[in-house]
Chains A and B, each alone.
Chain A
Amino acid sequence: MAYPSDLKYTKDHEWVRLSGDTAEVGITDYAQQQLGDVVFVDLPAVGTGVTAGTPFGTIESVKAVSELFAPLSGEIVAVNERLAQAPEEVNTRPHETWMVKIRVAGGAADGLLDSTQYEGLLT
């Protein structure tokens, strides 16, 4: 699967879709492959503050539990409620399935990777 060039990426295998001061956050195709079948995504409530590089939630596959790391600092302004019923969408459509939307505080987008850099990380 190709890594879309309109997304930014982290070394923790999250992706970010920035529009204005809002960032959709999900996990990459590589991350979902590593996890296997996702069965549960635990996300914070709207209004929660998050800090870049620190955990904001957990994602569980049949076998394992992993932490989700915030790619940016800011405030959670939306949570993808569909994932409560259909967590497998993380596997089937990883780059379309956002988990949270963060209203980004300040110019925190530094340090994110573009798709070429991210693909370089995987090889």
Chain B
Amino acid sequence: MTETAAPALKPTPLHARHRASGARMVPYAGWDMPVEYSGITAEHLAVRSRAGVFDVSHMGEIEIAGKDALKTVQFLTSNDASRLKTGQAQYSALLTPDGTFVDDILVYRMAPSHFMIVVNAANTAKAVEWITAQAKTVGDAAVVDSSARYALIAVQGPAALDTVQPLTGADLGSVRPYWFTYGEVAQARALISRTGYTGEDGFEIFVPPNMADRVWQALLQAGHATGVVPCGLGARDTLRLEAAMRLYGQDIDERTTPIEAGLAGIVGWEKPEFIGAERLRAQRASGAERRLVGLEMSDRGIARHGHAVLNDGAPVGTVTSGTQTPFLKKAIAMAYVPAALTTPGTVVDVDIRGRLSAATVVPLPFYKRPRTV
């Protein structure tokens, strides 16, 4: 018998800080990451009512620059990047020729011919390879994996602006959602983006790795009086699920298309040809056979990733994400079901470890933050 040692987990620039602070650490996508600090429920509620600070340095950053950078991004991503002004970001996807997800991404326009693509940690290597190979077929643009050049800290919640603003000279109030600016945060040069993965207002702050601990500490200190807390991936997952933000590897993957995932809005239907367009147009014309829906459990029990969805006793779909949510205090889930079962109010069954529990189709998202003008 041979034993193969698991590859060593990668530490983020904040790894020592998480350890020293007593965070519970777990392996995630090859990284040793904090899953919880004070507890998932407490962290989740802090983000909904005040703010939380997350280390998301495991995310990958890929830059595309050069004469044909826009043309390259347009061909490689689903959304219409020509609509981005410098300083603006958009949710988008890398697709296979079948129109399925290589990854879901954020595209940042740093300059007219310079883009940054933020990819999921688990997909960074795959995305770098995919983008590099495809870019060569388009024209003159350099593709650089700059993941190691950035630590990424997210500050999320209604108190995010008040937490970050005192640490920077940049006027963050004037940065609209899905826009970004540059500035110093706690004396670290930073790209500050009004984006996030929790359903709340907030910022994602890209800083040099050697400044990450300084910025992390400054943010927690600035937010200490208002109850801003460090958060782990556990709360990030329950927060994003309440907000119905899709998770790659569960809700979307190389077997699902944006149309099936309810993300047709990130497809630039009017733009020039891009990878996967043909299949997506065909699917849009014929209609997707299955779609991602929200489920709320009507019976007791919690639907989880991988549980079967049944209709009249026959398996018809699969739960992709599910949990008991700390804020809404209900068992919610997302699942793929046949198009005929997607109308809100439709009742299906979920097979929870051999027992059927009724669930009702509900509109997504489960949670929408109250917006102040």
Q: Which residues of A contact B (CB under 8 A)?
A: 36-37, 39-40, 42, 58, 60-63, 65, 84, 88
Interface size on B, residues (CB 8 A): 19
Q: Are B304 and A62 in contact (CB under 8 A)?
A: no
Given contacts A36-B234, A39-B324, contact A62 B35 (CB under 8 A): no
Could you say which residues of chain B place their CB within 8 Å of the CB of A63? Answer: 35, 40, 234, 237, 323
Q: Are A37 and B40 in contact (CB under 8 A)?
A: yes
Q: What sequence of 0s and 1s flags, for each residue 210-244 of chain B, a beta carbon within 8 Å of any chain A beta carbon? A: 00000000000000000000000010011000000
Could you list some 17 contacts between A and B, CB below 8 A? A36-B39, A36-B40, A37-B40, A40-B300, A40-B302, A40-B324, A42-B300, A42-B301, A58-B353, A60-B302, A62-B238, A62-B323, A63-B40, A65-B302, A65-B353, A84-B300, A88-B41
Q: Are A62 and B326 in contact (CB under 8 A)?
A: yes
Interface of B is mostly: mixed
What is the distance, in angstroms, from B299's C-beta to the closest C-beta of chain A? Answer: 12
Q: Which residue of B lies closest to A39 (CB)?
A: B324
Given contacts A62-B40, A62-B41, A63-B35, contact A39 B234 (CB under 8 A): no
Give the A-B contact count at a CB cut-off of 8 A: 40
B36 close to A (CB within 8 Å):
yes
Most B CB contacts (10 A, CB to CB) among A36, A40, A63 go to A63
Q: Which residue of A lies closest to B26 (CB)?
A: A63
Q: Which residues of B contact A (CB under 8 A)?
A: 24, 35-36, 39-42, 234, 237-238, 300-302, 304, 323-324, 326, 331, 353
CB contact between A65 and one of B36, B237, B304, B326 (< 8 Å): that residue: B304
Could you say which residues of chain A place their CB within 8 Å of the CB of B24? Answer: 36
Q: Report Cα–Cα, A74/B24, bound state, in Å.
A: 37
Could you say which residues of chain B place their CB within 8 Å of the CB of A39? Answer: 302, 324
Could you say which residues of chain B place their CB within 8 Å of the CB of A36? Answer: 24, 36, 39-40, 234
Most A CB contacts (10 A, CB to CB) among B35, B238, B324 go to B324
Q: Which residue of A lies closest to B304 (CB)?
A: A65
Most B CB contacts (10 A, CB to CB) among A37, A40, A60, A84 go to A37
Q: Report Cα–Cα, A36/B42, bound state, in Å.
A: 11
Q: Are A60 and B324 in contact (CB under 8 A)?
A: yes
Q: Which residue of A lies closest to B331 (CB)?
A: A40
Q: Report Cα–Cα, A65/B324, bound state, in Å.
A: 12
What is the distance, in angstroms, from B205's C-beta to the closest C-beta of chain A? Answer: 26
Could you say which residues of chain B place their CB within 8 Å of the CB of A42? Answer: 300-301
Q: Report Cα–Cα, A63/B234, bound state, in Å.
A: 7
12 further A-B pairs in the complex, CB-CB below 8 A; given A36-B234, A37-B39: A36-B24, A39-B302, A58-B353, A60-B302, A62-B41, A62-B234, A62-B238, A62-B324, A63-B237, A63-B323, A65-B302, A65-B304
Q: Report Cα–Cα, A32/B39, bound state, in Å.
A: 12
What is the distance, in angstroms, from B356's C-beta to the closest C-beta of chain A? Answer: 14
Could you say which residues of chain B place their CB within 8 Å of the CB of A65? Answer: 302, 304, 353
Q: Report Cα–Cα, A112/B299, bound state, in Å.
A: 36
Q: Report Cα–Cα, A36/B238, bound state, in Å.
A: 14
What is the distance, in angstroms, from B295's C-beta to the closest C-beta of chain A? Answer: 16
Instruction: List the 5 closest A-B pairs by CB distance, nearest first.
Output: A39-B324, A37-B41, A62-B40, A37-B39, A37-B40
What is the distance, in angstroms, from B367's C-beta to the closest C-beta of chain A? Answer: 15
Could you say which residues of chain B place their CB within 8 Å of the CB of A37? Answer: 39-42, 326
Q: Which residue of A lies closest to B39 (CB)?
A: A37
What is the distance, in angstroms, from A69's C-beta to the closest C-beta of chain B? Answer: 15
Q: Report Cα–Cα, A70/B237, bound state, in Å.
A: 32
Q: Report Cα–Cα, A62/B324, bound state, in Å.
A: 6
Q: Report Cα–Cα, A60/B36, bound state, in Å.
A: 16
